[in-house]
Structure 1
Amino acid sequence: PAPGPGLLVTRHLPAGRLGGIRPLHRRPGGAEPNLAPGLLPLLAERYGCPVAPQDVLCWILAVGRPGPRGHEVPLTADPERWHAGLDLGRRLLAVQVRGVDGGEPPRLPGGRRPYVRSAVQAWPDGLDWDPETETLSLGSGTVSPVPRAAWEYAVPGTPAGSGGPGAGTPVLRAWFAARCTHRGPGAEGLEALGPAEWPQAWTSELPALVTALALLADLAPEREAFTPGPLLSRAGLTAAGVLPVPVWSRRPASVLDHREEGPGGQFALL
């Protein structure tokens, strides 16, 4: 199957160096979107509707594609394409955050739910999948149903040295390998630290992960076929004052609630 989108959304701070991480907001409380100043008002004017930071995030999920300088995000000039992209992006976002905003957690395509059928009693030697019974096995532990789409779902690899999986590595196998790193023969120092026994909490993660992967695979053809239509031009963004992006907006933002003082806006700590 084709690799997944490579754009992941999480409410948690990712551990390790997993490639480019971009917060949606620059400051706590969502007070300052991590977007080019002036972009949201411009998009609202062009599309004839309010545009929130999360709308831009959903658009990115729908249209973002790998490019020479990272993921490229074309901005449509067509309000209808914008709304179509938002619909797709919102469904992708709902799958990735897995119901944390409330409501019923998502189900597999067709309405099924995977369950842990048997617990892992000892550290599993490997991860296997039975296509006939749609059962995922970790030693004595089993989870089912696990559709083929979830078992085979893969995302593009992260840059060399970043600690991520290789290109096209199926997510479930990468998930298992990451939890066994400390038991490898080459593990040294901090890399060798880890639980001596398989935590049951890890097994409990699998049903939600399997569901998310299956739903992302189900949405993949629609995402692959989606096109943004006519685009906003660089010249137009420049004329609107969105480009070039101000230097200050690329610098780390303050997380303090009061106005900073001192050279360069630094707050003096005495």
Structure 2
Amino acid sequence: MRPSSPPQRCRYAAQRHARSPPPLLAGRLGIPVVAEDLLAYIAAIASHPEYTARFREDLEVPGARIPLTAAPCLWERAVAIGRRVLWLHTYGERYADETAGRPYGRVLLPHDRPRCVTEIPDDVEAMPEKLAYDPVTQDLCVGSGRISPVPRTVREYEVSGMNVLDKWFGYRRRNPAGKRRLELDHVVATRWLPSWTTELLELLNVLGLLKREEPAQADLLNEVCAGPLITVTDLTTAGILPVPTEATKALQAKSDAGDALFDL
């Protein structure tokens, strides 16, 4: 069926300790579905600005609403996009697949990569206090250091209204962000660490690649919402909703021996 506007949506909240999602998905889609695929689907659907813009009013109430497609081709497309998104979010440590162009631990823009044009000084006197940005030259200035090119979309990249670069730099500037409740909270770095420059370049590559995924994510979301959906009624009839109380509890930390949620 085609949903009305706004489309009928559902909140996915399966038992999070389960190794596999409910068989409803595999049954409706006619293809195997594992938990990692469901996570990738959610990442593809929700981790971009079009999702927030489309469901802005609904998101005023805590909890993400995820439209679940009943179209196998859209599901497979979403999973493919989501795997790449999660690979980027984890700096290549999860969902790595060399054959799919997702090498383990190596996330780099194919061209126009940001580079440190002017070294960020590591002496005490030159400890950076703020970020400056020139949208014309695409220069990101960290104190007296300079990194370029940094597209404006990357400089302005936000997650839930939080600017990612400002947040990252806020804990590394001369007077770092954060509350000072304990004596140890006042022990902060007095000089810029070279490793931070490496981290910043890695972050800029990740953000640049995430921006490239957004048009495909937006097109996908629009097609999913315009196509057949697995509805709240479907989930209720299958016994997935309402969610059991025990499934809403926070996950407990696991031992070093393993038992991770996903072994990817």
Query: Is TM-score (shorter-chain normalized) higher than 0.5?
Result: yes
Question: What's the offset of the Cα at 1:123?
Answer: 0.7
Contact (CA 8 Å) 2:81, 2:217: kept in 1 or not? yes
Question: What's the offset of the Cα at 1:252?
Answer: 4.8
> Are 1:76 and 2:69 counterparts?
yes
Q: Using CA pairs under 8 Å that are at least 6 residues apart, name the structure with larger relative contact order, 1 or 2.
A: 2
The equivalent position to 1:57 in structure 2, one of 36, 39, 49, is 39
User: Residue 113 of structure 1 aligns with which residue?
Assistant: 113
User: Residue 6 of structure 2 aligns with which residue?
Assistant: none
Question: What's the offset of the Cα at 1:230?
Answer: 1.8
CA–CA distance in 2 between the matches of 1:184 and 1:222?
35
Cα deviations by residue, 1:62-114 (Å, 9 ceiling, x for unpaired):
22345223211121122122112212212222222222245262333x52322
CA–CA distance in 2 between the matches of 1:216 and 1:155?
12
Contact (CA 8 Å) 1:182, 1:192: kept in 2 or not? no
- Please tell me the root mean square deviation across aligned C-alpha atoms, in Å: 3.1
Question: What's the offset of the Cα at 1:56?
Answer: 0.8
> Are 1:48 and 2:52 counterparts?
no
Identity %: 34
Question: What's the offset of the Cα at 1:244?
Answer: 2.0
Equivalent residues, number? 214
CA–CA distance in 2 between the matches of 1:152 and 1:80?
33
| Greater Cα shift, 117-126 or 199-208 | 117-126
Cα deviations by residue, 1:202-226 (Å, 9 ceiling, x for unpaired):
2211111111111222222332332
The equivalent position to 1:99 in structure 2, one of 92, 95, 99, is 92
SS in 2 for 1:72: coil
User: Residue 171 of structure 1 aligns with which residue?
Assistant: 164
Contact (CA 8 Å) 2:21, 2:33: kept in 1 or not? no
CA–CA distance in 1 between the matches of 2:157 and 2:34?
31
The equivalent position to 1:251 in structure 2, one of 238, 249, 252, is 249
CA–CA distance in 2 between the matches of 1:137 and 1:199?
16
The equivalent position to 2:127 in structure 1, one of 123, 133, 138, is 123
Contact (CA 8 Å) 1:59, 1:86: kept in 2 or not? yes
Contact (CA 8 Å) 1:181, 1:191: kept in 2 or not? no
User: Residue 228 of structure 2 aligns with which residue?
Assistant: 230
Contact (CA 8 Å) 1:182, 1:191: kept in 2 or not? no
Unmatched tracts of structure 2, length 5 or more: 1-12, 53-58, 97-102, 257-264
| Cα pair distance change 1:90/1:183, threshold 3 Å | closer
User: Residue 202 of structure 2 aligns with which residue?
Assistant: 208
The equivalent position to 1:197 in structure 2, one of 177, 187, 191, is 191
**TM-score, normalised with respect to structure 2:** 0.69
User: Residue 157 of structure 2 aligns with which residue?
Assistant: 153
| Cα pair distance change 1:176/1:184, threshold 3 Å | closer
Unmatched tracts of structure 1, length 5 or more: 1-21, 27-31, 157-166, 258-270
**TM-score, normalised with respect to structure 1:** 0.67
Question: What's the offset of the Cα at 1:127?
Answer: 0.9
| Cα pair distance change 1:173/1:250, threshold 3 Å | closer
| Cα pair distance change 1:252/1:96, threshold 3 Å | closer
Question: What's the offset of the Cα at 1:52?
Answer: 1.5
| Cα pair distance change 1:146/1:185, threshold 3 Å | closer
SS in 1 for 2:159: coil
Cα deviations by residue, 1:183-216 (Å, 9 ceiling, x for unpaired):
4798553543321222222221111111111122
